[in-house]
A = this chain, B = another copy of it.
Amino acid sequence: MLYKRNLQLNKHGELIHLLSTEGLPRGIITQVLDTASNFVSVSDREVKKVPLLRGKSVFNLFFENSTRTRTTFDIAAKRLSADVINLDIAKSSASKGESLLDTIANLSAMAADIFVVRHGASGAPYLIAQHVAAHVHVINAGDGRHAHPTQGLLDMYTIRHFKRDFANLTVAIVGDVLHSRVARSDIHALTTLGCAEVRVVGPKTLVPADIAQMGVRVCHTLEEGIRGCDVIIMLRLQNERMSGALLPSSQEFFKSFGLTPEKLHWAKPDAIVMHPGPINRGVEIDSAVVDGQQSVILPQVTFGIAVRMAVMSIVAGNGS
């Protein structure tokens, strides 16, 4: 996928857009995580701001609704002292029949610096990155089933924070892998960082047939999937995306793949449990696990701000 890698990097190999963790060199991922670790402390300070993006304009372009993800980018940009423009695209000129690229060209002409893009169509942020002016940087905040790279990077930050080294880790990704852009972004990043074993765990209807090609081990029982694991990433059961044919019921799913305190014993005693949120308690994960000692779900949220600050400050510093 040389093409995609080139689009994200300039000729010096520096990050100018973040579109996918696929094709992102290990050095760039490490740069993001190292930069983020400096920003984690910013959120603990009395004055939670650094002037790195002062006078820059960050446009949140959410073609698909996501208050949660938009809020994390909003906070991250404001803590970098940027001006943030939140565009509710459903209400905008798009509804007057203007094309995506005309909307983007117009916003570029307003001297935008960063576009944060959430779009229902896989690949939309690529299309945008190919057409923006040279001074504009694009960050993918989730496109269709394709990628959610800042979630992937904050997951890597979380794993590194709690487990230090990827070389000896076994990581299980459990649940609705089929519809999950998070799973894809995690797998690419884990592979690049040299994770010893990545397992993909779920019923056959929710695991893509060709996923083994990504270098993962496919498991169709939870016990096989998480036994001896260091890290368990539970995926949200995307009720709204599934047709009834894929799953008998959410109760059935919980019985087979829902993570309970008892089943968690299959993993290593110091295994950590992650979830990208929002959580369906009692559907893919039991409340006792969410609130238990091995859960690092809330630290993920905290690290997510720092990782987004890192990505924005890095791309803004690199010319095309």
Contacts and interface: CB of A to CB of B under 8 A. Distances in A.
Interface of A: 43-49, 54-57, 65, 67-68, 71-72, 74-75, 78-79, 83, 85, 87-89, 91-93, 96-99, 102-103, 105-111, 239-240, 277-281, 298-299, 301-302, 304-305
A111 B40 CA distance: 10
A87 B86 CA distance: 12
Contacts of A299: 109
Contact of A278 (B47, B79, B102): B102
B302 A111 contact: yes
Given A56-B48, A301-B109, A92 B67 contact: yes
Contacts of A302: 109-111
A87 B71 contact: yes
A45 B55 contact: yes
B71 A75 contact: no
B301 A106 contact: yes
12 contacts: A43-B110, A43-B111, A44-B111, A67-B89, A78-B85, A97-B239, A98-B278, A103-B278, A106-B277, A106-B278, A106-B298, A109-B301
Q: Which of A78, A83, A88, A107 has the most CB of B within 10 A?
A: A83
A277 B93 contact: yes
Contacts of A281: 99, 102
A46 B57 contact: no
Contacts of A102: 277-279, 281
Given A49-B55, A49-B83, A106-B277, 16 more contacts: A44-B111, A47-B55, A48-B55, A48-B56, A49-B54, A67-B87, A68-B92, A68-B93, A75-B110, A78-B83, A78-B85, A97-B280, A102-B281, A106-B298, A109-B302, A110-B305
Contacts of A107: 71
A101 to B, nearest CB: 10
Contact of A57 (B48, B68, B278, B279): B48
A107 B68 CA distance: 9
Contacts of A91: 65, 67
